Amino acid sequence: MSRGLRQVPVLVVAGVALAAALGGTVYAAGKVNGRTIKVKSLPGNRLALGSVPGNRLKPGAIKGSALAPGSITGIQIDASTLGQVPSAIHADAADSAGDAETALNAANAENARTVNGYEAGCRSGTRGFAGACWQTAASETALNAPAAAAACATQGGELPEALALAAFSQQPGVTLAGDEWSSDIPVVSSPDVYAVVTVASDGEVASAISTATKKFRCVLPLVG
């Protein structure tokens, strides 16, 4: 028997070996798939680009440090999974803080005006009205009209005009002390005897002789 085998042509043996080799390759190609590959048996650098779709990756399989800069944009990110950024922790209260600051500035600037581009306001005991600072209370002493005008001038102001004083008398919290002097002089009969317009607490306009004594209030300019 062994002698018969020795007589088998060498070419036949080679052919059988080639057929077996080809058959094994075809068998391997047909039987090897993803399920037959052991975990971590293939390194990542042996995979072709795009050969593994994203839906085949487990959550957390790729760390953020392994991603190329700019590879993921906001479109791919679920905003609901993001926490509040540190610099925005106090942002929820920013609107309230802004409103509070605005209200505070408004309160401080209640009587503020602008003169030649500069901010100006009123001294204590006065309030802003008609572009000036009006004394909120009448004088303690009643004087005649010329003396009242001089007293206002000493303070850097003047007696109010009659119609402006009548309008001021209607402002909330303002009460005139009876008939107060204004700066209006309707009739001059002589240098020493003339009438001066007065305004009553109800805003009624009248007049009195300049030598009469009445209380008054001064209108002062805004101060910077």
143: domain CATH number? 3.10.100.10
- The strand order across the sheet containing 195-199 reads 180-181, 195-199, 205-209
State pLDDT tens for residues 76-87.
676 666 666 555
Its domain, for residue 198, covers 118-220
In the chain the first and final C-alpha atoms are separated, in Å, by: 129
Residue 166 lies in a domain: yes
State pLDDT tens for residues 119-171.
678 989 999 999 999 999 999 999 999 999 999 999 999 999 999 999 999 99
For residue 50, pLDDT over 60 is answered with: yes
pLDDT at 5: 47
Residue 123 lies in a domain: yes
State pLDDT tens for residues 30-43.
555 666 666 666 66
Residue 155 lies in a domain: yes
Dihedral in degrees, nearest 10, Cα atoms 29, 35, 36, 41: 110
Instruction: Please tell me the distance from the alpha carbon of residue 134 to that of residue 123, in angstroms, as a whole number.
Output: 10
Residue 73 lies in a domain: no
Residue 198 lies in a domain: yes
Instruction: Please tell me the distance from the alpha carbon of residue 214 to that of residue 169, in angstroms, as a whole number.
Output: 16
Residue 216 lies in a domain: yes
Number of domains in the chain: 1
Residue 76 lies in a domain: no
Instruction: Please tell me the distance from the alpha carbon of residue 122 to that of residue 111, in angstroms, as a whole number.
Output: 6
Residue 103 lies in a domain: no
